[in-house]
């Protein structure tokens, strides 16, 4: 699936509204001066309220699907149409605001 590539400064939230950020951005490919993200990289989540209270808050996330035709360092890049899973809840990440100049499949 095609979509905009996600850079380090993108607004990505867990399903509960916690802010997700890449632990190790990919400085080999920049979008508007900001590093891109590889699907192999771990993301941390801050401020997840863990709604409802019986559910633990999201702490980390891992992308499981990304680009299929574009790679960097031999790894797929994170794309807006990709899928990620938060841990320990198993809920997805939601990329809300990304750069809008570069798309990939």
Task: Give CA–CA dist 85/92, Å, rounded.
Answer: 5
Global pTM reads 0.94
Task: Give CA–CA dist 37/24, Å, rounded.
Answer: 8
Strand, helix or coil for residue 72: strand
Chunked into runs of 10 residues, the chain (105 residues) has average pLDDT values of: 93 97 97 96 95 90 97 97 97 97 94
Which structural domain, as residue segments, surrounds residue 40?
3-104
For the chain, the domain total comes to 1
CATH code of the domain covering residue 91: 2.60.200
């Amino acid at each position: 699936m095609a979509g905009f590539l996600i850079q380090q400064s993108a607004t990505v939230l867990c399903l509960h509204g916690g802010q997700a950020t890449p632990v190790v951005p990919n400085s080999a490919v920049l979008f508007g001066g900001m590093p891109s993200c590889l699907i192999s990289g771990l993301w941390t989540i801050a401020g997840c309220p863990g709604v409802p209270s019986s559910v633990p808050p999201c702490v980390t996330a891992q992308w499981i699907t990304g680009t299929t035709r574009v790679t960097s360092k031999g790894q797929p890049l994170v794309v807006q149409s990709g899928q990620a899973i938060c841990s320990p809840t198993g809920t997805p990440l939601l990329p809300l605001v990304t750069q809008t100049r570069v798309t990939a499949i």
